[in-house]
Amino acid sequence: MFVKVCGLTTADAVATAVDAGADALGFVFANSPRQVTPEQAAALLNEVPGDVTSVAVMLHPAQHEVDAMFAGFDPEWLQTDAADFDELLIDESVEILPVFRSGQEIPPYDGPLLFESGKSGQGELADWEQAAELAQTHMLVLAGGLSPENVAKAVEHVRPWGVDVSSGVESERGVKDLGLIKAFVQAAKSV
């Protein structure tokens, strides 16, 4: 089970996610209480092993915002809404993680995609029925409202390739809880 912990802003949260066994770390460059600068994200990755995937998370970015992020940070993946990629020039060395939302029609796609609720980072559950259908034909990373309490049930129901968490491991909006990060990764990987 591929596990991504998103919205990381502190060295302690990054270290906890890595130690717990997270496969990917997400750094938010959109307007959010979890927003970091490219330089902060690069510094947070200093001690992270090379087998952990770094993900830049954006929301409807303009090309100059993407360029500015890449000038200070070198992520392996770029995540934003699928339609955004139609307008952006991205270096071929960077994997894309397109975001699709509950209710959207999903075109055929070979790589991993993130399936989310209508509102990112708000703790709102994605449509698990639609996600379960998509997971049969796509490398689906399920996001939206996941927590240590419901991730095992979500994995059993949807059978995704991976899961993604942000607000579900926070003690308050934008503040990661180290115990919840550990619990989430352990619960996701134990299914």
Question: Token pair 């927590």 is at which residue?
Answer: 147
Integer Cα distance of 16 and 10 in angstroms: 10
- DSSP annotation of 35 reads B
User: How would you class 136 by CB atoms within 10 Å of its CB: exposed for 0-12, middle for 13-18, buried for 19 or more?
Assistant: exposed
Q: What does the pLDDT look like over 73-118, one tens digit per residue?
A: 999 999 999 999 999 999 999 999 999 999 888 888 888 999 998 7
The CATH number covering residue 113 comes to: 3.20.20.70
* Total domains present in the chain: 1
Q: What does the pLDDT look like over 8-20, one tens digit per residue?
A: 999 999 999 999 9
Q: What does the pLDDT look like over 149-187, one tens digit per residue?
A: 999 999 999 999 999 999 999 999 999 999 999 999 999
Domain encompassing residue 143 = 2-190
